[in-house]
């Protein structure tokens, strides 16, 4: 069985991925990275986990009725990912663009296994994925991520908090338990798939400087340390 | 009643230990243990228009008269996915890999919500198509076969798989007589030509080859589907009876004077 998730791709473009739990700050970092790369003259395409139109309908039906099991949750996201990979990610890679992915197959590995799906099965499932040139994992303690989410008055999402597992009726408590286990799965992935760990506790600017340094190894840029010191 | 009654070939089980009816084919669903359930899963496979549905209806009647509780399940009938799959079919925008995964999602939903509960409750589950049609269709469309097997590793190995076997020529006659050729059953999405007859013929020939290649691996009981309906039904009943009776009637046998 060919495994393109572990074999280096041969497209002229680059695929950079950010991973981490909600509230890890990965989306902010990805946005800043995209700005910088565009300013450097690169053609950049940003794609998010779970954003394709076709599967959105099914996910909504499922979520409304709380009807998704861990397996159908997993397969539905894989379907969505396949759609996105073939229509949104591979074409720009073929065209030599930089693709920035907000979450990737590793999100599925961490979440689905926490939900009780077989660890090897879900890895085999995603073996059709393209191996990223670089995956940045923003590691954050649960309390920090919760503080950030609650400060922004973000309503904790049903599945993101693992409410479907029925571990706790309290969303915050459920989030803490579920994402705590998700963090454990991420730690496994760091070694297995060679993720670059970024400590998500320091300031946005400090993190972004590290992000840009890591990215510079894969793309041609004029200057590395070009980070404005004002936070967003 | 609650004891595992499957005498499976290898005691070790697992992915390489051979197929054990009533167990998962591969990695399975860790949070859903299924061992020792009293129900029986019987799958009917065969290409479009081969007569599966007719045979299942007749078999159901017969089983119910004999006192068995019967549950039927089909392909793409899950409430979760049906609208999505219909939408995908009509819009023709999905790529083949996405299609394969949508069908697998649908199957997982049905497995967890219909098949497993029915097996647990002691029903005979008659499945109109099982994973093999999905694998045959995907295989014909160039999807990696080992990947497909690993994907469907969460499927339960049926106690019996009947494969209704037919040749293309007989199939064409039957389909044209009954209702005509349909876009998907003709593999028109493969864009091998505009002629639906040629396309149907070529596509169904490939499908039949794909099914045959799975026959040994998945222990198909091959049934000649070119015969009249009642002849096929007789054979099915004979085989189903031979399988169900020794399991279900030991008490009667000893109680007889």
In chain B, domain spans: 40-239
Residue A137: which CATH number? Answer: 3.40.50.300
Residues belonging to chain B with any Cβ–Cβ distance to chain A shorter than 8 Å: 26-31, 79-81, 83-84, 87-88, 91, 93-95, 97-98, 101-102, 104-105, 108-109, 112-113, 144, 146-147, 150-151, 153-154
What is the extent of the structural domain holding A92? 14-216
In a domain, A1, yes or no: no
Q: Stretch B182-192: mean pLDDT, rounded?
A: 82
Q: Band of the pLDDT at A114, cuts 50, 70, 90?
A: very high
Any domain includes A6? no
User: How much is the average pLDDT of B108-127?
Assistant: 96
At B255, the pLDDT band (50, 70, 90 cuts) reads: very low
Cβ contact (<8 Å) for B31 and A70? yes
Tokens of B159: 């106690």
For A100-120, b/e burial (b = at least 16 CB within 10 A) is bbbbbbbbbbbbbbbbebbee
Q: Across the interface, which of B31, B101, B144 has its CB nearest the CB of A116?
A: B31
Q: Is residue A226 part of a domain?
A: no
User: Taking CB atoms and an 8 Å limit, are B80 and A61 in contact across chains?
Assistant: yes
Q: Taking an 8 Å Cβ-Cβ cutoff, which residues of chain A contact chain B?
A: 1-2, 54-55, 57-58, 61-62, 67-72, 75-76, 78-79, 82-83, 86-87, 115-118, 120-121, 124-125, 127-128
Flag whether pLDDT at B196 surpasses 70. yes
Give the distance from residue A63's alpha carbon to the nearest chain B alpha carbon, in angstroms.
10
Give pLDDT, residue B74: 86
| Tens digit of each residue's pLDDT (9 = 90 or more) over B33-47 | 999 999 999 999 998
Task: Say which range, A13-22, A96-105, B170-179, has the weakest mean pLDDT.
Answer: B170-179
Tell me what percent of the residues of chain B surpass a pLDDT of 70: 84
pLDDT at B190 over 90: no
Q: Search chain B and give the residue with CA nearest A74.
A: B105
How does A152-162 read in b/e, with b if 16+ C-beta sit within 10 Å?
eeeebeebbbb
B222 — pLDDT class (breaks 50, 70, 90): very high
Report the number of distinct structural domains present in chain A: 1
Determine the average pLDDT of the residues in B147-171: 95
Give the CA count within 13 Å in the CB-facing half-sphere of A177.
Answer: 15
Query: Is A5 a member of any domain?
Result: no
**How far is A89 from chain B, CA to nearest CA, in Å?**
14
The rounded distance, in Å, linking the Cα atoms of A62 and B80 is 6
Query: Would you say residue A221 lies in a domain?
Result: no
Is the pLDDT reported for residue B23 higher than 70?
yes
| Cα–Cα dist B90/B134, whole Å | 19
Average pLDDT, chain B: 85
CATH of B40-239, one of 1.10.3720.10, 3.40.50.300, 2.70.150.10, 3.40.1280.10: 3.40.50.300
The reply to whether residue A79 touches residue B95, judged by beta carbons under 8 angstroms, is no
Q: How confident is the model at residue B148 (pLDDT cuts 50, 70, 90)?
A: very high
What ipTM did this prediction achieve? Answer: 0.85
Residue A227 placed within a domain: no
Among the residue ranges A59-68, A76-85, A205-214, B231-240, the one predicted with the least confidence is A59-68
Nearest to B94 among A54, A67, A121 (CB): A54
Q: Does the distance separating the beta carbons of A127 and B147 come in below 8 Å?
A: yes
Q: Helix, strand, coil: what percent of chain A each, to 5?
A: 50, 10, 40
Q: Is B240 or B14 the better-scoring residue by pLDDT?
A: B240
Burial track B161-185 (b if 16+ CB lie within 10 A, e otherwise): bbbbbbebeebbebbeeeeebeeeb
pLDDT cut 70: percent of chain A above it: 88
What gap in Å lies between CA B104 and CA B152, rounded to an integer?
7
Nearest to A15 by CA among A204, A198, A215: A215
């Amino acid at each position: 069985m060919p495994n393109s998730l572990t074999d280096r791709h041969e497209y002229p473009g680059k695929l950079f991925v950010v991973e981490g739990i909600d509230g890890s700050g990965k989306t902010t970092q990805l946005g800043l990275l995209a700005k910088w790369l565009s300013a450097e003259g690169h053609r950049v395409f940003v794609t998010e986990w779970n954003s394709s139109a076709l599967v959105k309908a099914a996910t909504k039906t499922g979520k409304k009725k709380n009807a998704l099991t861990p397996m159908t949750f997993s397969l539905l996201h894989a379907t969505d990912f396949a759609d996105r990979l073939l229509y949104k990610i591979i074409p720009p890679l073929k065209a030599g663009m930089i693709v920035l992915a907000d979450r990737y197959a590793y999100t599925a590995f961490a979440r689905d296994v926490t939900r009780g799906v077989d660890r090897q099965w879900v890895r085999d499932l995603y073996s059709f994925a393209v191996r990223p040139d670089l995956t940045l994992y923003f590691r954050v303690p649960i309390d920090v991520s919760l503080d950030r989410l609650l400060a922004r008055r973000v309503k904790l999402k049903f599945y993101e908090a693992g409410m479907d597992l029925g571990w706790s009726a309290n969303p915050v408590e459920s989030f803490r338990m579920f994402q705590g286990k998700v963090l454990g799965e991420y730690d496994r992935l760091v070694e297995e798939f060679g993720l670059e760990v970024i400590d998500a506790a320091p300031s946005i600017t400090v993190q972004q400087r590290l992000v840009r340094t890591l990215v510079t190894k894969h793309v041609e840029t004029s200057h590395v340390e070009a980070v404005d010191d004002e936070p967003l | 009643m609650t004891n595992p009654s499957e005498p499976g070939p290898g005691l070790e089980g697992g992915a390489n230990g051979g197929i054990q009816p009533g167990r998962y084919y591969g990695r399975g669903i860790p949070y859903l243990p299924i061992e020792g359930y009293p129900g029986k899963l019987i799958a009917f496979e065969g290409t479009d228009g081969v007569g599966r549905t007719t045979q299942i209806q007749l078999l159901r009647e017969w089983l119910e008269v004999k006192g068995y509780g019967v549950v039927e399940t089909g392909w793409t009938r899950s409430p979760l996915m049906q609208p999505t799959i219909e939408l995908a079919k009509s819009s023709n925008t999905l790529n083949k890999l996405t299609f394969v995964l949508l069908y697998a999602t649908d199957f997982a939903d049905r497995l967890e919500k219909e098949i497993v509960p029915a097996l647990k409750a002691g029903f005979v589950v008659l499945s109109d198509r099982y994973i093999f049609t999905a694998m045959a269709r995907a295989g014909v469309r160039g999807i990696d076969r080992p990947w497909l097997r690993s994907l469907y590793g969460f499927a339960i190995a049926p106690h019996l798989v009947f494969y209704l076997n037919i040749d293309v020529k007989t199939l064409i006659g039957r389909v044209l007589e009954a209702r005509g050729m349909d876009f998907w059953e003709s593999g028109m999405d493969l864009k091998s030509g505009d002629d639906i007859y040629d396309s149907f013929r070529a596509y169904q020939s490939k499908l039949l080859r794909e099914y045959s290649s799975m026959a040994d691996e998945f222990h198909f009981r091959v049934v000649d589907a070119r015969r009249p309906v009642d002849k096929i039904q007789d054979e099915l009943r004979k085989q189903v009876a031979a399988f169900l009776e020794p399991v279900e009637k030991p008490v009667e046998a000893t109680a007889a004077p």
